Amino acid sequence: MSRDARAQTADPQRAQVMAALEAADAGRLDPAQSAALVRHPLYGWIEFATLRRDPDLITTTQAQDFLRRYDGQVVASQLRALWLAALARRQDWPTFLAAWKPTESTALQCAHLTARQATGRTDAAWTEQAQALWRKGAKSLPDGCDPVFAVLAGQGGLPPALRWERIEAAAAERQTGVMRSAARGLPADEAALANDYAAFIDAVHTRALTWPKTDRSRRMAAQGLAKLAQNDPDAAERLLPQYADALGLGEAERGQVLYQVALWTVASYGPDSARRLGNVPESAYDERLHEWRVREALSRGDWPAALAALRKMPASQREDSRWRYFEARMAEKAGDGATAQRLFRENAGSPTFHGFLAADRVNQPYALCAWIPNDPAPAKQAIARDPAIVRAMALWQLDRPGWATAEWNDALSRFDDTQRRIAVEVARDNGWFDRAVFSLGSVRGESRPDEQRLYELRFPLHHGDTIRREAAKHAIDPAWVAAEIRAESIFNPKARSGANAMGLMQVLPGTGAGVAKRLGIPYAGASSLYDSDTNIAIGTAYLREMEDKYGVPYVAIAAYNAGPAPTARWQAQRPGFDPDIWIETISYKETREYVARVLAFSVIYDWRLNGTALPVTDRMMGRVQAKRKAFACPTAQMPKS
């Protein structure tokens, strides 16, 4: 019996709970059905599912009783939010204030301010909090905030300076509707100018040539021209001089426009890419444009220019394993073998795609310092018994991922690093594999680099027999199949993308039907893709088709992610390029990183499956019989993979 099967059959009432939740969702939960589960850990969620169907019918007695019984639990905070919104709709402000607890919801924050105003509590603190909400409104705020701002304005709390503050914040986000809304309380001449600023950002016009020569006008002109550059870099470049002369645009404003002109040219490797990159002031360069300057030179095979662009990067960016590798490659291309070898050796200690490539260039083992904790059983048992973790695991198994994640986040907010890591192990044991990806490596923005070495958690290996069987059937490296699953779904068989890609290998229903028909794989419609064995069979067969079509795995991986049309364009633009350079010059950031990620994951899954690995340089080319590589743990601590 698999680990997933053990976890999912551990709750003898699982089927009853699922039926009760479905009945509650549909509004037909039988009281006897509910009473039979009153002691179950998910009983609160069953009650919640019943109450949330019509929050406006929740009585004060019902809400208060529920909040008392589940005080401190996630389900109580979710019910409170629904009830508060209902109280606001019926303007029961005394009850609203009695039930209030601080929340991140802007709509409820505005309702809270309305409640205080309606009950005569508009003191200095009220004004300060209302102004704080106004300031966060670079984008449109909920309609319920309008009455708050109307009262604030009536009290003189929205002077022109504060209105302009929001207008400028909205302009930076190109939210012209917000700009116009914020301008309504300005004096007539200022409102007219603010509306003309918004009109310019919507569509560049010549009236801007007569705007007052102020810093604000210059910023607005730069915003409008920069937006134009995203759709028509030629027009933005042509128009920039006249607006720069008329308004006195400085280097910062000119740089903002020239940045976008260059970016939206080089993103398609247009013929003016190098010239336009050269026109951007160095002060306007950021990491993104530094990267594109390197790629543009790579796309032309101009190795000295690529090396020069690399050496203009900030030191922190240049130290990334990707750019350390390409600095070595460019030195190698330029004939400086000694520098190249030194840089390759230095980068070979990084357990990343480019670190693995570097190790291949100098014939070094792959660097992998795995951390396999040996936590005492009682520690793991204590985490597994934590009430929030119990509920999270049960909800995950019942296919309630939103509720499960809310319970999970609540539990982790109370855990230290060790407890959090053990919780990830518990999630893994319950088949919830993505918790390792989303819960390890950093905590509230603070890095935890050691956790990157928890490879057995971060790279789960499930359905191993099926992966090996289907890989052998289609002469595909099983490590590649596992890597695709990790990249596509993190081993979640119920995963579904916005594009309707489904299951472990994120197969589109049309693709699934076509592959199944060609190969005689049993297929009963799109829902078949949620069956793990079927999904792996179809996904692996499709990988084989992609490799047959494109000849080499690295192009097949790009096509798996981006589709045939972009892949054909990239092949036509850069025929005969070295694989590493072709990958780096892929136009789409998502696909460029996807190919590198899948290839790196393949190495790690090879380690998990076999203890050694096919060299990534051979793997990219489909040379599956190449001499395999060993792994070694250098003395130095491994960087993030």
Catalytic residues: 488
Find the angle CA(419)-CA(13)-CA(526) to the nearest 5 degrees. 85
Residues β-bridged to residue 366: 631
CB 496 within 8 A of CB 482: no
Q: Which amino acid is at 202?
A: D
Q: What is the rounded CA–CA span in Å between residue 595 and residue 24?
A: 44
CB 296 within 8 A of CB 277: yes
For 527, the token pair is 């829902």
- Where residue 463 falls (left for φ over 0; alpha for ψ -120 to 50; beta otherwise) is left
Q: What is the rounded CA–CA span in Å between residue 292 and residue 289?
A: 5
Q: What is the rounded CA–CA span in Å between residue 179 and residue 184?
A: 9
**What angle in degrees, to the nearest 10, is found between the helix axes of 337-347 and 321-333?**
160
Find the angle CA(428)-CA(434)-CA(438) to the nearest 5 degrees. 120
Residue whose entry in the numeric block shows the structure tokens 């695709």: 484
CB 371 within 8 A of CB 441: no
For 212-250, give one letter per residue: b (16+ CB within 10 A) or e: eeeebbbbbbbbbbbbbbeeebeebbebbeebbebbebe
Closest by alpha carbon to 532, among 458, 431, 425, 401? Answer: 431
CB 117 within 8 A of CB 154: no
**What angle in degrees, to the nearest 10, is found between the helix axes of 43-51 and 60-69?**
160
Q: What is the rounded CA–CA span in Å between residue 503 and residue 496?
A: 6
DSSP state of 73: S
DSSP state of 604: H
Sequence-separated (6 or more) residues with CB below 8 Å from residue 373: 421, 454
For 192, the token pair is 């007219």
